[in-house]
């Protein structure tokens, strides 16, 4: 019998750290963790079709409530049968609530007691998002995991501002928990608190008291140092229940992923592999390099030697560089295919290492290999 949505099985643990291999069941199937979620902010992972993502091994995609509410609008997505059918994706979907845009679009918003008033960055129209609206929109999208609406503060952030953001996040989380949800839809609360350990502890403890299907660490990757980011993750994850999935939002550097996995984090998302593909950067086992550089203009090697992805099996660095430099769309598509293949392959290898009791060895080798390559 298929487990009910929200069931989280821990399949293996690393005795030397908090790392674990798991499986989260959703209304659209199982997600094996640790997992990397390609970002499809506006209902698509840039340059990729759902069939290609499936072939690459993507298990779950991410969409964004703020952006989808602006264009095409919640009514359109709902009338087309929900977000899965609208974008042609049959697997699990997670939707961010729009809380990150409180940070990223700070010049275009005003925080109110009951939510946030945004001025559209497209046409100047007004969009109000609060806990009631964010959860209603995600219910109508039909996503498998709906994120609670939160306030993501900036960095640096004064203590009073961080405290107010935590207060808003907790008040809104309690309202989010009371809203109707789509059938089988899970809800995750989000820990905020900036760089202040005691605020992250308070936020995490209160979210657990409210009760969610999973928990996320938010408010990181907003300009802080690597050391502060690690502390933010540690000061959040350590207070979250081991039996529920933990999600680190917006972090995609592979070294940072390994550090967070060692702290018991299960889920990740980031625009890094797709965004850097559009700028001409390739990820390899040994690090990243700029395919657009002149050094590769006559290089007949694949993007990464030994890689089995479609781009590497068929095309040379010289050809991909040519496409990028003459702004042919295929160049971006091929590099995106490769980068996502590398990221998703990295996560498969990480899960296998955990299953086989080799996490420490895998982590050490992966960190040693990071750097510039040619």
Q: What pLDDT is stored for residue 373 in this prediction?
A: 45
In this structure, the number of other CB atoms found within 10 A of the CB of residue 310 comes to 16
Q: Taking CA 147 as the corner, what is the angle to CA 102 and CA 228, rounded to the nearest 5 degrees?
A: 60
Read out DSSP for 243-294? TS-EEETT---HHHHHHHHHTT--EEEESHHHHHHHTTEEEETTEEEETTSG
Asked whether 274 and 47 are in contact (CB, 8 A), the reply is yes
Asked whether 132 and 175 are in contact (CB, 8 A), the reply is yes
Asked whether 277 and 247 are in contact (CB, 8 A), the reply is no
Q: What pLDDT is stored for residue 369 in this prediction?
A: 79
**How far is Cα 277 from Cα 287, in angstroms, rounded to an integer?**
14
Q: What pLDDT is stored for residue 371 in this prediction?
A: 55
Strand partners, 186: 145
For 75-85, letters b (16+ CB in 10 Å) and e give: eebbeeebbbe
φ, ψ at 39 (rounded to 5°): -90, 120
Q: Is 96 a known active-site residue?
A: yes
* DSSP three-state, residue 304: coil
**How far is Cα 79 from Cα 72, in angstroms, rounded to an integer?**
11
Instruction: Kindly give, in sequence order, each residue whose CB lies less than 8 Å from that of residue 158, ignoring residues fewer than 6 positions away.
Output: none
- List the catalytic residue out of 32, 96, 150, 266: 96
In this structure, the number of other CB atoms found within 10 A of the CB of residue 177 comes to 17
Q: Is 213 a known active-site residue?
A: no
**How far is Cα 273 from Cα 336, in angstroms, rounded to an integer?**
7
Q: What pLDDT is stored for residue 1 in this prediction?
A: 86
- List the catalytic residue out of 32, 144, 259, 269: 269
Which uninterrupted H or E stretch holds 35? strand 35-38
Q: What is the pTM of this model?
A: 0.97
Q: Which domains does the chain have, with CATH numbers?
A: 8-270 (3.20.20.105), 277-369 (no CATH)
Strand partners, 26: 29
Average pLDDT, 10 consecutive residues per value, the chain (374 residues): 96 98 98 98 98 98 98 98 98 97 94 96 94 98 98 97 98 98 98 98 98 98 96 98 98 95 98 98 96 97 98 98 98 98 98 98 90 46
φ, ψ at 125 (rounded to 5°): -70, 165
Question: Alpha carbon 144 to chain centroid distance?
Answer: 14
Q: What pLDDT is stored for residue 92 in this prediction?
A: 99
């Amino acid at each position: 019998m298929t487990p009910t949505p929200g069931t989280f099985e821990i399949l293996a643990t690393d005795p030397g750290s908090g790392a674990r291999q798991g499986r989260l069941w959703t209304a659209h199937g199982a997600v094996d963790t640790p997992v990397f979620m390609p970002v499809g902010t506006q209902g698509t992972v840039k340059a990729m079709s759902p069939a290609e993502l499936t072939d690459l091994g993507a298990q779950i995609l991410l969409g964004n409530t703020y952006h989808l509410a602006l264009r095409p609008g919640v009514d359109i997505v709902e009338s087309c049968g929900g977000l899965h059918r609208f974008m042609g994706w049959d697997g699990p979907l997670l939707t961010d609530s729009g809380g990150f845009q409180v940070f990223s679009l700070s010049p275009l918003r005003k925080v109110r007691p009951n939510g946030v008033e945004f001025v559209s960055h497209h046409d100047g129209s007004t969009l109000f998002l609060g806990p009631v609206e964010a959860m209603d929109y995600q219910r109508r999208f039909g996503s498998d995991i709906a994120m609670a609406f939160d306030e993501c503060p900036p960095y640096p952030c004064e203590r009073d501002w961080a405290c107010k953001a935590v207060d808003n996040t907790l008040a809104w989380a309690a309202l989010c928990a009371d809203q109707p949800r789509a059938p089988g839809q899970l809800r995750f609360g989000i820990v905020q608190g900036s760089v202040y350990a005691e605020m992250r502890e308070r936020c995490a403890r209160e979210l657990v008291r409210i009760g969610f299907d999973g928990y996320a660490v938010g408010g990181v990757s907003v300009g802080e140092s690597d050391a502060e980011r690690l502390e933010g993750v540690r000061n959040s994850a350590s207070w979250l229940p081991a039996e529920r999935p933990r999600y680190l939002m917006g972090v995609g550097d592979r070294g940072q992923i390994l550090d967070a996995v060692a702290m018991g984090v299960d889920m990740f998302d980031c625009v890094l592999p797709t965004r850097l593909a559009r700028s001409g950067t390739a990820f390899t086992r040994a690090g990243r390099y700029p395919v657009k550089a002149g050094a590769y203009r006559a290089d007949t090697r694949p993007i990464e030697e030994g890689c089995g992805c479609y781009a590497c099996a068929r095309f040379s660095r010289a050809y991909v560089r040519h496409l990028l430099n003459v702004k042919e769309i295929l160049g971006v598509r091929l590099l995106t295919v490769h980068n996502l293949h590398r990221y998703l392959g990295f996560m498969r290898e990480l899960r296998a290492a955990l299953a086989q009791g080799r996490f420490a060895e895998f982590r050490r080798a992966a960190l040693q290999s990071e750097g510039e390559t040619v």
